[in-house]
Amino acid sequence: MSKRERKAFNESLDEENAVVRNSLANWKQYRDKKFGPLPPRETETEFYRRLTDGQIPYLVPYTGRGDEEQNEDDKVEEVKEIDKVDEVDENS
């Protein structure tokens, strides 16, 4: 590519970039007029604080089982406690 071709190519890129920058600026102005400015980005600490405070619903992972099956698995069976052994079978 000669210097003249390279210069013409760079100028065409500059013109395209100017058009893109201009349209982006126009879009931002339109968005701000219609919807107001964007809220400031929250920090990671603020996000986790909202998550732990319950402001953001925490998604429970799907186990693939229905609620009834999950509830049956979560039940704890009561075990009868035996204090002492009355008889010991010595024949076995």
Work out whether the CA dihedral 34, 35, 41, 44 comes out positive or negative.
Answer: negative
| Cβ pair 42, 49 in contact under 8 A | no
Q: Classify residue 68: in a domain, yes or no.
A: no
Tens digit of pLDDT for each residue in 21-33? 888 888 888 888 8
Q: Classify residue 90: in a domain, yes or no.
A: no
Tens digit of pLDDT for each residue in 43-76? 878 877 877 787 766 666 666 656 566 566 566 6
Q: Classify residue 67: in a domain, yes or no.
A: no
pTM recorded for the entire structure: 0.32
For residue 41, the enclosing domain spans 3-58
> What number of helices (H) and strands (E) belong to the chain?
3, 0
Q: Classify residue 84: in a domain, yes or no.
A: no
Q: Classify residue 91: in a domain, yes or no.
A: no
| Cβ pair 1, 9 in contact under 8 A | yes
